[in-house]
Amino acid sequence: MNIDEIKVFLNKLINAGLDEGFEQAEGVFEYNTGMAVNIFEHEVSSFENNVGQSAVFCGKLDKQMGSASTSIIEDASINYLVKEAMDNIKVKDDEDEDFFYCDKDNSNLYYDGYSEASSKNNYDSFKRVGLELESAILASDERIKSVDYLEISYSKDARVSVNTLGLTSVREYDSISVCAEAKCEQDGVVKTGAYLWFGNDIDKFDINTFVDEIKKRTVNKLGADSVESGVYDVILSQEAFVSLFSAYSGSLSAYSIQKKLSLFKDKVNDKVASSKLTVTEYPNYDKALLKFPFDYDGVITCDKDLIRDGVFKTPLHNLKTAYKEGVKPTGNHFSGIEYSNLVLNPGEKSFDELVRSVGNGLYITDLNGLHAGINAISGDFSLFCEGFLIKDGSIVRPVEQITISGNFIDLLMNITHIGSDVVNIPDGAGEFFCPSIVISNMNIAGEA
């Protein structure tokens, strides 16, 4: 189905909802086509080419909404969707009202995120790059014995939404990811390391840069040992900080704050971090792969500070939470209430300067057990981690078998330096542009 045919189907769907007795209605169509090439031992080990689609009907009656979905996109499904949504609404009892939305000045929204390079993203090009990449990783260091996982995948997505208030929104985008995990061995000790690249043009994938990174993440772990338990100054790598920040990202949601399930409850306009920390959402950030001019509700997005100079400024709202609080929605309804593209304002120090400023401490590169090791309401965490020992202003050896613990707000408060070494990491609905972060006085459990 093309976009015009989808719109016709969705209008039939919402009109059927009105005929059934709903006061307002919305129809959503989502489409995805994906391709993945896996390489193992110098050949294509698997190839997948998938197509998926779904239609969702959502109807509002007496301030409540009911919904239903199907993967069968045909007129015969319309009555099923409407009746199923009506049955669902009869058992729903939510004290807060649900809403649809349409800005009359922005009622017809369209985002074309398809790349001009999409025709190059095919089986032959992925196979060629994959085989070349595997050989390059194996040849990069004699200690690398195998590439246990290597996948190049392509995804092309579309989302079309129509509601009875007059909104029509269309969002289309595509992306590529290259992911590999290598295994190295020395003196009977085995270590693994993985790396992910993402973009939308396979010709922009730099094999040499990828190989250098995955080699570093693998062989640099050899010779790792624990450290004495104690209080250390710590550099958190970009990925480590983003993974921890992301684990607590639900606390930025106005829903969690209103339900008293957020560590940021009652902290709007309060200091929650070092004055060095500013985190801003730029939905249409020029350096980001994907842009977000509007959210799933059809709300136009805007730049906003989440944390400015250490002060918590802006909870993330959808229509429902904004109405409850009497404020404007912030344009953050995507899969749930989440941010799009985030930028943590960098400092001026290079990574080497950060290491020298720490003097003696730890550089943490990997945090493990994020689902089990954090309390999203209190902010407490205890996580296994890996990294490197810093001594006399230099990185001297890898470290493992240690645990980092503390409280997330305390960690933010104890930020002493922010680096200039920004990298972009997939997070939320988009990307997080983040440098390395120096934290003082972190509790580390290692050797007794």
Length of the chain in terms of residues written: 448
Q: How confident is the model at residue 295 (pLDDT cuts 50, 70, 90)?
A: very high
Q: Which amino acid is residue 274, in one-letter code?
A: S
pLDDT tens digits, residue range 164-216? Answer: 999 999 999 999 999 999 999 999 999 999 999 999 999 999 999 999 999 99
Comparing C-alpha atoms, which of 22, 161, 16 is closest to residue 89?
A: 22
Comparing C-alpha atoms, which of 332, 404, 340 is closest to residue 368?
A: 404
Comparing C-alpha atoms, which of 121, 115, 107 is closest to residue 170?
A: 107
Alpha helices (runs of H) in 29-188, residue ranges in sequence order: 78-90, 123-139
Half-sphere exposure of 94 (CA within 13 A, CB side): 17
Comparing C-alpha atoms, which of 443, 448, 427 is closest to residue 385?
A: 443
Q: Which amino acid is residue 3, in one-letter code?
A: I
What is the phi/psi pair of residue 177, to 5°? -135, 145
How far apart CA 367 and CA 414 sit, in angstroms, is 18
**Which pLDDT score, from 0 to 100, does residue 296 have?**
97
Tokens coding 168:
């029509």
Per cent of the chain over pLDDT 70 is: 100
The mean pLDDT value for 284-295 works out to: 97
pLDDT tens digits, residue range 303-361? Answer: 999 999 999 999 999 999 999 999 999 999 999 999 999 999 999 999 999 999 999 99
Q: How far apart are the first and last CA of the chain?
A: 64
The answer, yes or no, to whether residue 448 has pLDDT greater than 80, is no
Maximum average pLDDT range among 2-6, 89-93, 391-395? 391-395
Are the beta carbons of 197 and 129 closer than 8 angstroms?
no
DSSP string across 363-376 = EEEEEE-TTTSB-T
List CB contacts of 62: < 8 A, sequence separation 6 or more: 23
Are the beta carbons of 425 and 431 closer than 8 angstroms?
yes
Largest CA distance in the chain: 75
Are the beta carbons of 183 and 145 closer than 8 angstroms?
yes
Comparing C-alpha atoms, which of 323, 341, 1 is closest to residue 170?
A: 1
- Helix (H) / strand (E) containing 219: helix 207-219
The pLDDT mean for the chain works out to: 95
Tokens coding 381:
């965490």
Q: How confident is the model at residue 91 (pLDDT cuts 50, 70, 90)?
A: confident
- Between helix 207-219 and helix 123-139 the angle, nearest 10°, is 40
Q: Which amino acid is residue 255, in one-letter code?
A: Y
pLDDT tens digits, residue range 122-164? Answer: 999 999 999 999 999 999 999 999 999 999 999 999 999 999 9
What's the 3-state SS for 142-173? CCEEEEEEEEEEEEEEEEEEEECCCCEEEEEE
pLDDT tens digits, residue range 31-72? Answer: 999 999 999 999 999 999 999 999 999 999 999 999 999 999
**Which pLDDT score, from 0 to 100, does residue 61 have?**
93
What is the phi/psi pair of residue 320, to 5°? -65, -50
Alpha-carbon distance values, 286 to 96, 343, 433 (Å): 37, 11, 12
The mean pLDDT value for 90-113 works out to: 90
Alpha-carbon distance values, 1 to 8, 69, 74, 304, 373 (Å): 10, 18, 10, 37, 45
pTM, rounded to two decimals: 0.95
Alpha-carbon distance values, 296 to 27, 143, 293, 326 (Å): 12, 48, 10, 20
Are the beta carbons of 192 and 148 closer than 8 angstroms?
yes
Q: Cα 37 from chain centroid?
A: 23
pLDDT tens digits, residue range 415-428? Answer: 999 999 999 999 99
- For tokens 């301030």, the residue is 63
List CB contacts of 240: < 8 A, sequence separation 6 or more: 364, 365, 366, 367, 385, 387
Comparing C-alpha atoms, which of 396, 376, 380 is closest to residue 388?
A: 396
**Which pLDDT score, from 0 to 100, does residue 96 have?**
84
Tokens coding 97:
């009202």
Tokens coding 68:
């239903």
**Which pLDDT score, from 0 to 100, does residue 292 have?**
98
